[in-house]
Amino acid sequence: MVKSASPPDRYGLLGHPVEHSRSPLIHQLFARQTGQRLTYELIDATPQGFETAVLAFSAAGGKGLNVTVPHKQAAFELAREVSAAASKARAVNTLTFGGKALRGDNTDGTGFLRDVTVNQRQPIAGRSVLILGAGGAARGIMGPLLEAGPRELALANRTSERADQIVKQFRAHGKVTPIPFAHLDTLAPFDIVINATSAGLKGDAAPFPGTLIGPRSFCYDLVYSLNDTPFVIWARNHGAERAVQGWGMLVEQAAESFHIWRGVRPDTAPILKQLVR
């Protein structure tokens, strides 16, 4: 009798909602490229069901989970040990199970920085940077951005208390200036403008003053879509030198998670090309 091979290792993405996620495709392409045997599934869980879903996946032999909106802070609370990046962000997007251990990492920031500085060839050091938004994604990118040495880092959020909270949280890591949303139209253009809000997700226009953009501005939308996003359209309409979407960050943060889980780093360039084609 031929012995059956052991089942492939199980990974997945846990969020709410998750049905439109590209992560299964990305991880399948990584696995094929690097010769790894694994499955990657989508798990929809509400905030009330988050912990039960994580523990059930682990108990069933799952090896690791990516975590997305709205669970990144809950994942941080649940993890027994966390990486420096997750600790700074107080948010976890990658959980790794090993026996009783439950480790949390945050790969959003490194994925973002890699896309901006390597794929897009945009240096951060010495440049003025504005982040719009103060949710989990903004927190994830803040640490790596500060480490990259911008001349100025400003943060503006519709709900100013959330921006103030982040500024306080990152005080020990560098200077971040909170900007009230209502004062955005009094500022000079920034070298780099990052949209880390979910504004415009439903197709409505980006709610920011065009004066933030100058002819040398590089604009980065964390949001990604098969069509131009409202932020990218807004940035181009106001004369930005370049405006790009967050596909690269999506692939790079996934590659970081894959590396944590499998110990091998996929080559992201062909995967990114295949994804946006």
> Which residues are catalytic, by number?
72
Cα 120 from chain centroid (whole Å): 16
Q: Cβ 61 to ligand NAP, closest distance in Å? A: 27
Q: Cβ 3 to ligand NAP, closest distance in Å? A: 41
| Closest to 24 measured CA to CA, from 12, 35, 36 | 12
| Closest to 200 measured CA to CA, from 182, 224, 184 | 224
- The residues of the shown chain that bind ligand NAP, judged by CB under 6 A, are 69, 108, 133-138, 157-159, 162, 196-199, 201, 207, 222-224, 246, 249-250, 253
Name the residue nearer to ligand NAP (CB basis): 64 or 133. 133
What is the separation, in whole angstroms, between the first and last Cα of the chain? 45
Q: Cβ 251 to ligand NAP, closest distance in Å? A: 8
**Cα R_g (the chain), whole angstroms:** 19
Asked if 246 contacts 222 with a C-beta cutoff of 8 angstroms, the reply is: yes
Q: Cβ 37 to ligand NAP, closest distance in Å? A: 25
Name the residue nearer to ligand NAP (CB basis): 146 or 199. 199
Q: Cβ 140 to ligand NAP, closest distance in Å? A: 7
Name the residue nearer to ligand NAP (CB basis): 58 or 153. 153
Q: Cβ 138 to ligand NAP, closest distance in Å? A: 6
Name the residue nearer to ligand NAP (CB basis): 67 or 146. 67
Own/partner pairs for 144-150, CB < 8 Å, 24+ apart? Answer: 144/85, 144/109, 144/110, 144/112, 144/113, 145/109, 145/112, 145/113, 146/170, 146/173, 146/174, 146/176, 147/173, 147/174, 148/113, 148/117, 148/124, 149/124, 149/125, 150/124, 150/125, 150/126, 150/192
Name the residue nearer to ligand NAP (CB basis): 58 or 268. 268
Query: How far is residue 116's CA from residue 204's CA, in Å, rounded to a whole number?
Result: 25
Asked if 269 contacts 243 with a C-beta cutoff of 8 angstroms, the reply is: no
Q: What's the residue count for the chain?
A: 277
Please name the helix (run of DSSP H) or strand (run of DSSP E) that holds residue 141, with its range, or none.
Answer: helix 136-147
Name the residue nearer to ligand NAP (CB basis): 89 or 240. 89
Q: Using CB atoms, what's the residue nearest to ligand NAP? A: 135
Cα-Cα-Cα-Cα dihedral sign, residues 251, 256, 259, 264? positive
